[in-house]
Structure 1
Amino acid sequence: MATTFGIEEEFVMLDPVTLATADARGAVASLASSRDGVVTKEFFRSQIEHATHVCTDALEALDCLLAFRERLSSWAREWGLVAAGSGTPPRIGHDSSLSEDERYARIAAQVAGIAPEHQINGLHVHVGIPDRDTGMRASNALRPWLPILLAMSANSPFWNGADTGFHSWRAIHGRRWTTSGITPWFADASAYDDAVARLSGIGATSDLGTINWNIRLSNAYPTVEIRVFDAQLDAWSAVALAIVARILVEHARDRFDPTQFDVTDAALWHAARYGVSSTLVHPTEGELIPAVDALLLLQREVDPHLQTTFERTCVDGLFARLAAGSTGAAAQRLARSRGDGALADLYRRSLTRVPEGSTSRARRMTRLSSPPGMNTAASIVTG
C-alpha cells in the first residue's frame, strides 16, 4: 500500500495596507473543522497552523489544503485582513504579541531577544515509517538533498519592510536556535534518541518540540517530519514538495560517509541566499553546480516513483516552474516592485490559486469532505 503522509501549513495574517502582522485572535475557533484537518494557534497571535488529515495521494492532500485555504480566505476577507502563505511577513506590527500559551511563554523567556523576531512560517511534511530505524535511515539519506529542497521552497525575501537579498530569510532566522539546520548523521534511532535526551535543558531545548533540526523523528507517532520548507504561496506547490519529500523517504539511499568533510550546512546557507537563481551544492560530490542541474538531479531521483498522473502533473509542473526561475521569492519581489498593494493581491490570489488551465478539473475532482474520525498529519501511519 502507498506510504501515507500529511502536511502542516503555517500562515500569517497581515494588515492589507501596511502588510504588517495583525492579530488573528479568534481565527482558530472560527476555522476549526474536522472536514479538512486540524487548526491550531502558533507562536504569535498573527499566525495560524493547519494540519491535514492522513493522506494517501496528491489529490487528497490538495483537497484538504484548498478546502482550508478557501475558508481561511473568506475569514480573512470578513475581518479585513490578508492571509499570506509566506515564510516571513513583510513587516512586524507594533502591537505584535505572543499567543496565550504557557509553553510559548516559557520558550519566549528562554530565547530572550530572539522571541520577538520568531515570526516565521513553515511547511512541514510528515511521512509514515514502519519503525524509527527506517526513519533514521531516511533522515541520513535526505541530508544532502535538504539544501536543494530549501531552494525549491524559498519564499521569504522580506523582513522589516526591506528586501533581505536572501530567497529564504526564514532559514537564516532558524539558525539562531539551540538546534537548527541539517540533522546530524546518526547510526540508528537509538543514537538519535540519546542525542535528543542529552540536549534536554541545554540552551532553549526545553522539550522535544524545541528540537529544530530540518528533519525530526516523532516520539508519539511512526513518522519522520521534514521541516526545511518555507510556507508556500499556493497549495499546489505545497503538495508537490510533499510528494517529493515522501518519495525521498520511501526510497531513501544513504550515500553519505560520516567521516568525510561535510558541507551540507554551508550548502543550506547558500540555498537560503540564492534559491534556484544561481548555483547549488551537488548532493553527493559537494561542489557547486548550476541550480538547474541540481534540480534535474533531484527530478531524476523522484521521477520513477511518481504514482499517479496527478502526482506527475504536480511535481513536473513544480520542477518546470523552478527551472524557469518562477519561485515564491521571485513572485513576491516582482509583485512588490509594483507596490505593497500588488503584493497584498499576490497573497490573496495565491491562497486558493490553481495552475492556469487546471481550475475546472481541480474543482471537479476536489472532495471537500473527509470521512469522520480521520487523524491529523501528526499521527500518520504507514498503510
Structure 2
Amino acid sequence: MSTFGLEEEFFLLDPKTLQPANIGSQVLNDLSTQAFGGGGRATAEFLESQVEFTTGIFTSLAEAEGDLRAFRIRLATLARSQNSIAAGTGTPFDTSTLPVLTDKARYRVIESELRGAVGDHQISGTHVHIGVPDRDAGVEALNRMRVWLPTLLALTGNSPFWRGSDTGFDSWRAVLLRRWPTNGCPPVFNDATDYGRRIRELVGVGATPDTAAIGWSARLSESHPTLEVRVADAQLDSGATALFVALTRGLVETALAEAEAGTAPLNVSPELLDAALWHAARDGIRGELLDPITRERQSARAVVQTMLRHIEAALAETGDGPRVADLLEGLWQRGSGADRQRRAYRHGGPSALGVLLNSSVTT
C-alpha cells in the first residue's frame, strides 16, 4: 500500500470584502508554537495572505483526514482572532491588483520572472504526494495516470470567482496557471533519465529558476520519493481533500500495477488532453468530460464511474472504497466546491459566501 502526504494552501480573507488579508506572518508566528499530530507543519506560501499545511506521511486515509481537520480548526481560530477568516478556495472572491508577497528570496526571484503576471498569481491549491519505489517507477506511473488529470480537476474545481465576478469556470485557478511556462498535463517520458534531462533543460527558461518550479499538474517531486499531483484547487472542507487523496492514490497504485504487468499507457494525444483539462476547468462535474479510454465525451458522472472501475482493485487494497463512495455521493448531492460557492453567493451575496467559506474550512 502506497504512503502519501499532502500540502493544503489556505487564503486569509477580510470577512467583509473577502479580499486577501496580509496577516500570514502573524498567523504563522502563532502556529509555530503549536504541535501537530502526524508530523505536520505550517509554512508560509507565495503570498502574505496565505498559509500552507504540509502533513506527515500516512497510509491511513482516516488518520490523514483527522489531522487535516484538526489543523483547519486551529487555523480558523487564529484567523478569527486576527479579525479574518481562513478559506479553502482556489481563488479569493475579490483581490487587489498587486498582491503582497511573502518576504523570501525565492519568491522575489519568481516575482521578477513573472513580472506583469504576478498580479494574477493569487491562487491556492492542494498537492498530494504518493510514494513510489523509485524515479523510473514514478515516470511509469506518471505516464499512465496523467490522462485522468482532467477528471480529477472536474471533481475538485473550487475557484469560480475572480475580482468580484463569476468567471463561468469551476476552476479559474487552472486558467490562471496557464500563464506559467510549464502547466497542465505533463508529456510522456521514456524513463527517469529522459525525465531528468528534459526538466533540466527547462531551467532558466521563463519563470523556471529551478526544477522545483516545474508547473505541471503532476510531476515527480524533486525532494521526496513521490509522484506529486497538483491539479486540485484548495478545497472547501477536509472531506473534499480526502476524496482527492484517495482517488489519486488509487490512480497511482493502478498505474504502478499496470507498469509491472506491461500494460501500455492509454494513447491520448497531448492536444486532446490539454483541451480536456481546459474543458474540465470550465464545466466541472455539471457537463461532459473526456473519457480517456474511449476518447469521447461522456457525462461527468459516467467518466467518474469509469475511473472508479479502473481503480477498483486499488481502492479495495487500501480500504478507501467505502469512504470514496460516501464522499462521492455527497459531491453529487451538494455539488462541487464551485457549485456550493455560487449557490451561497446567489442566495446572499458576499456575506453568505463568507459564511460558507468560514464554516466549511472546519468541517
| TM-score, normalisation: structure 1 | 0.88
Provide the rounded CA distance (Å) in 2 between the counterparts of 1:261 and 1:133.
21
Which residue, out of 133, 140, 143, partners 1:140? 143
Identity %: 42
Question: Counterpart of 1:6 in 2: which secondary structure?
Answer: strand
Which digits, 9 at most, give the CA deviation of each residue in 1:187-225, with x for residues without a partner?
111111110011111111111221000111123221110
Instruction: Name 2:233's counterpart in structure 1.
Output: 230
Provide the rounded CA distance (Å) in 1 between the counterparts of 2:319 and 2:62.
7
Taking a change above 3 Å as real, the CA distance of residues 144 and 309 of structure 1, as seen in their structure-2 partners, is closer
Question: Counterpart of 1:8 in 2: which secondary structure?
Answer: strand
Tell me, yes or no, if the aligned pair for 1:41 and 1:47 is still in contact at 8 Å: yes
Instruction: Name 1:35's counterpart in structure 2.
Output: 36
Instruction: Name 1:19's counterpart in structure 2.
Output: 18
TM superposition shift of 1:319 = 2.1
Q: Does 1:160 align with 2:147?
A: no
Instruction: Name 2:275's counterpart in structure 1.
Output: 266
Tell me, yes or no, if the aligned pair for 1:11 and 1:83 is still in contact at 8 Å: yes
Provide the rounded CA distance (Å) in 2 between the counterparts of 1:51 and 1:19.
25
Instruction: Name 1:311's counterpart in structure 2.
Output: 320
Taking a change above 3 Å as real, the CA distance of residues 191 and 34 of structure 1, as seen in their structure-2 partners, is farther
Instruction: Name 1:9's counterpart in structure 2.
Output: 8
Q: Does 1:99 align with 2:109?
A: no
Provide the rounded CA distance (Å) in 2 between the counterparts of 1:309 and 1:256.
24
Tell me, yes or no, if the aligned pair for 2:253 and 2:314 is still in contact at 8 Å: no
Instruction: Name 2:291's counterpart in structure 1.
Output: 282
AA matched with 1:35: F
TM superposition shift of 1:300 = 1.6
TM superposition shift of 1:265 = 0.6
TM superposition shift of 1:16 = 0.3
Provide the rounded CA distance (Å) in 2 between the counterparts of 1:234 and 1:89.
16
Which residue, out of 119, 125, 128, partners 1:125? 128
Tell me, yes or no, if the aligned pair for 2:266 and 2:292 is still in contact at 8 Å: no
Question: Counterpart of 2:311 in 1: which secondary structure?
Answer: helix
Equivalent residue runs for 1:134-213 within 5 Å: 134-213=137-216
**Greater helix percent: which structure?**
2
Equivalent residue runs for 1:310-329 within 5 Å: 311-324=320-333, 326-329=335-338
Taking a change above 3 Å as real, the CA distance of residues 179 and 325 of structure 1, as seen in their structure-2 partners, is same
Provide the rounded CA distance (Å) in 2 between the counterparts of 1:311 and 1:250.
13
Which digits, 9 at most, give the CA deviation of each residue in 1:315-361, with x for residues without a partner?
112322333461100000000112211111101111111xxxxxxxx
Q: Does 1:350 align with 2:351?
A: no
AA matched with 2:298: I
Provide the rounded CA distance (Å) in 2 between the counterparts of 1:113 and 1:328.
29
- Count of aligned residue pairs for this structure pair: 351
TM superposition shift of 1:29 = 1.9
Q: Which segment drifts farther, 132-141 or 93-102?
A: 93-102
Which digits, 9 at most, give the CA deviation of each residue in 1:247-280, with x for residues without a partner?
111110453237x575101100000000010100
The structure showing larger relative contact order (alpha-carbon pairs under 8 Å, at least 6 residues apart) is 1
Provide the rounded CA distance (Å) in 1 between the counterparts of 2:147 and 2:97.
39
Which digits, 9 at most, give the CA deviation of each residue in 1:299-318, with x for residues without a partner?
22233322589733431123
Tell me, yes or no, if the aligned pair for 1:123 and 1:230 is still in contact at 8 Å: yes
Q: Which segment drifts farther, 267-276 or 24-33?
A: 24-33
Provide the rounded CA distance (Å) in 1 between the counterparts of 2:41 and 2:91.
22
Provide the rounded CA distance (Å) in 1 between the counterparts of 2:195 and 2:5.
23
